[in-house]
Structure 1
Amino acid sequence: MTPTGPDGPPPAASEPAPRTPLARLAELHGVAPGYSPSPGRTVAAPDSALVAVLAALGVDASTPDAVGAALALHETATAERLLPPTLVSWGGLAPAALAALPAGTRLRVTTEQGESLTEADRLPPGVHTLHATAPDGRAAETHLVVAPTRLPAPPGRAHGLLVQLYSLLSRRSWGMGDLGDLAELTAWAGRTLGAGFVQVNPLHAAVPGDPTDPSPYRPSSRRFPDPVHLRVEDVPEYPYAEDRDRLAALLERAGRLRDGVLRKGALIDRDAVWDLKREALEAVCAVPLGPGRQAAYDDFLAEEGQALEDHATWCALAEVHGSDWRDWPAALRDPRSRATAGARGELADRVAFHSRLAWLTEAQLARAQRSARDAGMSVGLVHDLAVGVHPDGADAWAQQEYFAADMSVGAPPDAFNARGQDWGLPPWRPDRLAACGYAPYRRLLRALLRHAGALRIDHVMGLFRLWWIPEGQPPTEGTYVRYDAEAMLAVLVLEASRAGALVIGEDLGTVEPGVREALQERGLLGTSVLWFERDWDGDGLPLPPDAWRADCLATATTHDLPSTAARFTGEHVELRDRLGLLTGSLADERAAAATDVREWLALLARLGLLRGPSGGAPASAEEAEIQAVHRFLLRTPARMIGVWLPDTVGDRRPQNLPGTWDEYPNWRLPIADAEGAPVTLEDLAASPRLHALIDVVREDGGPPGAPGGPPEPPSRVP
């Protein structure tokens, strides 16, 4: 998500001490009675927010008597409970909570594989069931998450590309980048550029609309990818579709759509692309599968089970009743109702179509990752997990029991945004997650990691706490709700270790004390962006490279920030001024931006980084500065170095401008050069400017500890 500001001083560690019964009740349920917007300052959460959030957690706090009854009930339940619903074991060691059980308590563990054990120590990784029976007759059955103590470090330093896939058009794509383009990009970047990874935006399924929300961070489903990313011609059944004239006409229309973006300055139109692809895919999916393909598809259906059936059913129902399930006939709002089962039968052909699309998209994702690894990439694809889902979409419908009703996730007011932020995403209920052993979270991670060398977790701080906003209230009237961070991390480490994947946490903005330390302890990498790396506790000047952390993905910018060229030219300030987004005067904003750039350029010059590639003649001043920025990143001990693909050709425009909706074409821009002309994948591959920048990354950035490379990061024992 959009960071609320530079990674400045952390908030005060303590929150206001609860002084009222309502505040005590809230804290017992993980609801913060207040928060710290800045060091040394605390703000109490409104009572109305505490009451509403507790209600969303199934706790009645509407009156003083109700609060008293809820406190008494919680005290009784806690006294009678043997164990919490989920426990964590790091490295197979018995959880500390077991030591507090009454003497003589009998334990039995049923492992994932069905084996029955009488010891809760040295267990294999997995999510097991722990049975406990106390001498007084009390019994408990709890989920036991056994995870490795930490994920291993990346296999040496790697550099890679960061790209929003829709923005990367080739001469074969249908008006937006697709999975065929991604496979081409990984093969070329691995073989020609020596890249170790390619990080993409979330490829989650979108909520269809008129128009569809183009943001990849408000998906219908995080579990299943969006078939709009399919390369239709790469589907094996495509050559056998009967209506060739129809497909030829669609290809011609797709070509006109692509040319409109690349040659006539049109914006990427996801809905127009999908209209063409859906029609083509309906013809392709009418082709019967061969025996081998049918067997593979049957295996996919069996493996995905109820989750896929729910997703495909929602897609089919949305075609009939609209994409907001809350406006459907009442009986269809329940995914388990008899009416829904009947509708699924009536729409069996459409359910089958959407199930087939999920399988085809999964196959092309797998192909893109194979392409990356075949090209020698040490990591391959880095997929992106959005922080939440759209309230109208498939996940919110199918998993209603796990989402907090009438709540939205956002960010509290702070020094950079006095009004706070509302992201419009319903939060998961921490109590329901714990009760089921984090089953939906585990299934989600397993699906995303299936074809990934690494996973980026958007707003990774959400594993610890999220800002809940009651429906109809501004973000200022919300409060934090805590999650069991140890359990969330354990599940994440378990699933990533099973997939042999890295995890990168997006930890920009204000980060609660202790979060980065907890992530590092478990082997998760953070995210460090050049412009935010300053000595916030000291003189505020840019951090020298040896002061950066090693366990991170280091980049010059992100999809939510200005391009590096725009930073150096100050064009990002002019853009915000044209759109009325400046909080101060244009002169003051220009001066602040110029000071920021001047301080960084002074450090780059002092380190001798402002020079031409390989000691040759300097490039243009702009290119020399962008190259110097990347030389700087390579001087840090960061284990991964990310190059924003639009930076390689001097693109001026951000892909997303926070704080705008219709005012700016967020998520709809193709990659463009310094003059604003769209650049195809083929153009990128032939770009001298791109190759000059990548030569800098390859020549100046050997593996940590190598001659001319960055210092060796301190070793950490897994």
Structure 2
Amino acid sequence: MTAPRPAESPTEELSRLAALHGVATSYSPSPDRTVAASAAALGRTLAALGVDTDTPGAVRAALAARERELRERLLPPTVVCWSGATSAVLDALPAGTRLRVETEQGEIEQGETRAAVGQLPPGVHRLTATAPDGRSAEAHLIVAPARLPTPPGRSYGLLVQLYSLLSRRSWGMGDLGDLAELASWAGRALGAGFVQVNPLHAAVPGAPTDPSPYRPSSRRFPDPVHLRIEDIPEYPYAADRERLDALLERAARLRESVLEKGALIDRDAVWELKREALELVREVPLGPGRRAAYCDYLAEQGEALEDHATWCALAEVHGSDWHRWPAALRDPRSAETARARSELMDRVDFHCRLAWLTDTQLVATQRAAREAGMPVGVVHDLAVGVHPGGADAWAQQDHFAAGMSVGAPPDAFNARGQDWGLPPWRPDRLAASGYAPFRRLLRALFRYAGALRIDHVMGLFRLWWVPQGEPPTEGTYVRYDAEAMLAVLVLEASRAGAVVIGEDLGTVEPGVREALRERGVLGTSVLWFERDWEGDGRPLSPDQWRADCLATATTHDLPPTAARLTGEHIELRDSLGLLTRPLEEERAEAAADTGEWLDLLTRLGLLLGTGGGIDTSSEEAEVQAVHRFLVRTPARMIGVWLPDGVGDRRPQNLPGTWDQYPNWRLPIADAEGRPVTLEELAGSARLHALVDVLRRPEHGTP
């Protein structure tokens, strides 16, 4: 067997060219080790950015052109100015340069005073600079508030995967009616400040559909599978009641198969029923007011909604991967696509209508949460990317890097690295557009979000690009203009009055958490990871935690608290063949980790029984102690994983598995694995006792 040839090292010119385009020439899998990117990785990445590196001559020409461009340009494509401050980019302009700004509000400002730019109203404006030597340049000018406002007071809330939350009215998976009910109950009866859910983005249809909410077709438009059909105003007036009643009966059987017979949540089966019902409901004419509201939505969403609905209509005919469509239809702006859109206009309108209906129920859900007294309301989740064959990747091809995928480099936890199968945005195209796709995405989500959790928030700074067909080890980091990305985020969140939470778990490059905190973006702190990693590695005492964060005991990708405390998560991984070391070694390490935390909880006087007669050594008492600890931290937001409230043992997602484990398909269940409905959750003594730890932190605490 012939050993593989070592990767070719890049030339000095190729490395310089890469650096000038924001492409990293090395990465550090650990603080004491640096790995150089290969010449192939740099070449493929630069090619995805439109840079020719096929020959040494092409590299030299591209390098000279890039150096000349950077040397001679007056302005970059996008300039950021924080309100009340000056811009380093504008300060560096030649003396005597005149500025002209056409604001988002339509006003014109002119002059030479750079400081005046920071006094402009927040928005994305058009800036023109004219230097004394006659050179001129235009740029997008983003003026954003200096930071997001602090979240209103200190609050706690519930974390849940919506599909897993079934009520006696669900059609086989949790829906927006269930979410509104949960938020209304939690706000009024429990004093909760928020409910956080998984991404509700539109999925890619398939057979079967990928159940992961983190690989959607579109991040901008929601998935109508989450609709509560009976809450649609036209539903009662649908003519074919016999068919609708038959669908309700089938939905009841589907629901009972999950709740009573142990079946997994079947998203495709749910959608089949809902789609048929929606076809019937759509036959009911909209009243004048509803018609006007629908037309307003169409006008507001514009071309983006038309593209999304067109993709959905074409996918019904040609399949859900646009790369396999007839060549002419792969271009959303082609004459053939326009003709197909016209021919399929009825289906395009159907999918536009579904987006509108889902949007209205999402808005109503947030309204219900706020009316229930929640200061934040619903916390929505923004996935890090989209499916390469889906609607966003088709409609926004100019902004995505062809032939590349987002992932993670090799590190101490995964020596092979990761490929998430998500095409990355091109930083150069984002900057040239004034970050228009990002702005529109955020604006759409903030229509109905009291807060937004950003998955892998480090992606605002850099992403690991993997060339198609290559292993993740052959990737490299590509840097984004983090200041511009943050400015857009702060601008849109401020306009909506929303909180932003960044998922910053794992390896985070220096300066990222500080930059996020400076702009008012909260971080994410999970108890089991909060250790003194720069010291003795012991658990951090509560006073050592950061305040600007959402603190939790677990997440959807981690074992529920009961499973971690009992070590059952190790047994699960062993049963699936996922352990990389002997079982006893893994057990011992997990027990030592848990033991250190329990020792700290005991020393702090937090591991206590309750008035309900719970033994201090019981699992329930330990789960309560973990959350009592979270209350002791200064965290502004505290999240309770809803399955922890009833003793659920099973993680919703087990990273590293595909068909070995039912990821994203499990209903919330009790300690014995019996599914628990929303109605039963509301009456659960165990859940109420856990919530009391947060509502009355002084109870049982020294």
With structure 1 as the length reference, what TM-score do the two structures score? 0.95
Pair 1:55-2:55 in alignment:
no
In 1, are the aligned partners of 2:83 and 2:118 still within 8 Å (CA)? no
Aligned to 1:712: none
Task: After TM superposition, give the deviation of residue 612 of structure 1 in Å.
Answer: 2.3
- Residues in 1 aligned to 2:617 and 2:301: alpha-carbon distance in whole angstroms: 53
Aligned to 2:91: 99
For residues 315-464 of structure 1, the aligned pairs below 5 Å read: 315-464=312-461
Please list every run of 5 or more consecutive structure 2 residues that lacks an aligned counterpart in the other structure: 1-8, 111-115
In 1, are the aligned partners of 2:401 and 2:424 still within 8 Å (CA)? yes
- Residues in 1 aligned to 2:54 and 2:33: alpha-carbon distance in whole angstroms: 28
In 2, are the aligned partners of 1:94 and 1:122 still within 8 Å (CA)? no
- Residues in 2 aligned to 1:84 and 1:612: alpha-carbon distance in whole angstroms: 62
Aligned to 2:579: 582
For residues 127-142 of structure 1, the aligned pairs below 5 Å read: 127-142=124-139
The one of 169, 173, 185 aligned to 1:172: 169
Pair 1:234-2:236 in alignment:
no
- Residues in 2 aligned to 1:113 and 1:293: alpha-carbon distance in whole angstroms: 30
Question: Number of residues paired by the alignment?
Answer: 689
Q: What letter is aligned with 2:477?
A: Y
Task: After TM superposition, give the deviation of residue 294 of structure 1 in Å.
Answer: 0.4
Q: What letter is aligned with 1:350?
A: R
Aligned to 1:20: 12
- Residues in 2 aligned to 1:219 and 1:284: alpha-carbon distance in whole angstroms: 26
The one of 57, 65, 84 aligned to 1:73: 65
- Residues in 1 aligned to 2:219 and 2:673: alpha-carbon distance in whole angstroms: 33
- Residues in 1 aligned to 2:368 and 2:71: alpha-carbon distance in whole angstroms: 56
For residues 512-551 of structure 1, the aligned pairs below 5 Å read: 512-551=509-548
Q: What letter is aligned with 1:180?
A: G
Please list every run of 5 or more consecutive structure 1 residues that lacks an aligned counterpart in the other structure: 1-16, 710-718
- Residues in 2 aligned to 1:221 and 1:90: alpha-carbon distance in whole angstroms: 30
Q: Please give the root-mean-square deviation of Cα atoms over the aligned residues, in Å.
A: 1.4
Task: After TM superposition, give the deviation of residue 494 of structure 1 in Å.
Answer: 0.4
Q: What letter is aligned with 2:151?
A: P
In 1, are the aligned partners of 2:531 and 2:540 still within 8 Å (CA)? yes
Aligned to 2:653: 656
Task: After TM superposition, give the deviation of residue 99 of structure 1 in Å.
Answer: 1.8
Pair 1:30-2:27 in alignment:
no
Q: Secondary structure at the match of 1:700?
A: coil
Aligned to 2:636: 639
In 2, are the aligned partners of 1:179 and 1:229 still within 8 Å (CA)? yes
Pair 1:672-2:669 in alignment:
yes
Q: Secondary structure at the match of 2:81?
A: strand
Task: After TM superposition, give the deviation of residue 103 of structure 1 in Å.
Answer: 2.0
Once the two structures are superposed, residues 612-668 of structure 1 have per-residue CA deviations (whole angstroms, 9 ceiling, x without a partner) of 236965477000000000000000000000000000000000000000000000000
In 2, are the aligned partners of 1:85 and 1:142 still within 8 Å (CA)? yes
- Residues in 1 aligned to 2:629 and 2:336: alpha-carbon distance in whole angstroms: 61
Q: Secondary structure at the match of 2:117?
A: coil
Q: What letter is aligned with 1:44?
A: A
In 2, are the aligned partners of 1:32 and 1:482 still within 8 Å (CA)? yes
Aligned to 2:80: 88
Q: Secondary structure at the match of 1:405?
A: coil
In 2, are the aligned partners of 1:631 and 1:701 still within 8 Å (CA)? no
Once the two structures are superposed, residues 55-108 of structure 1 have per-residue CA deviations (whole angstroms, 9 ceiling, x without a partner) of 000111122111110111011111221100001111143312112212221111
Task: After TM superposition, give the deviation of residue 18 of structure 1 in Å.
Answer: 9.0
Q: What letter is aligned with 1:545?
A: P
In 2, are the aligned partners of 1:613 and 1:695 still within 8 Å (CA)? no
Between 394-403 and 119-128, the greater mean CA deviation after superposition: 119-128
- Residues in 2 aligned to 1:178 and 1:92: alpha-carbon distance in whole angstroms: 44
Judging changes above 3 Å, is the alpha-carbon distance between structure 1 residues 145 and 614 closer, same or farther for their aligned structure 2 residues? farther
- Residues in 2 aligned to 1:420 and 1:435: alpha-carbon distance in whole angstroms: 31
Aligned to 1:696: 693
4+ residue runs over 2 A deviation: 612-620
Between 114-123 and 404-413, the greater mean CA deviation after superposition: 114-123
Between 348-357 and 129-138, the greater mean CA deviation after superposition: 129-138
Q: Secondary structure at the match of 2:260?
A: helix
- Residues in 2 aligned to 1:18 and 1:686: alpha-carbon distance in whole angstroms: 64
Aligned to 2:34: 42
Identity level (%): 79
In 1, are the aligned partners of 2:11 and 2:39 still within 8 Å (CA)? no
Task: After TM superposition, give the deviation of residue 121 of structure 1 in Å.
Answer: 3.8
Task: After TM superposition, give the deviation of residue 259 of structure 1 in Å.
Answer: 0.3
In 2, are the aligned partners of 1:464 and 1:482 still within 8 Å (CA)? yes
Aligned to 1:686: 683
- Residues in 2 aligned to 1:120 and 1:112: alpha-carbon distance in whole angstroms: 13
In 1, are the aligned partners of 2:118 and 2:143 still within 8 Å (CA)? no
- Residues in 2 aligned to 1:522 and 1:399: alpha-carbon distance in whole angstroms: 28
Once the two structures are superposed, residues 314-370 of structure 1 have per-residue CA deviations (whole angstroms, 9 ceiling, x without a partner) of 000000000000000000000000000000011011000000000000010011101
- Residues in 2 aligned to 1:183 and 1:224: alpha-carbon distance in whole angstroms: 19
The one of 269, 277, 297 aligned to 2:274: 277
In 1, are the aligned partners of 2:128 and 2:137 still within 8 Å (CA)? yes
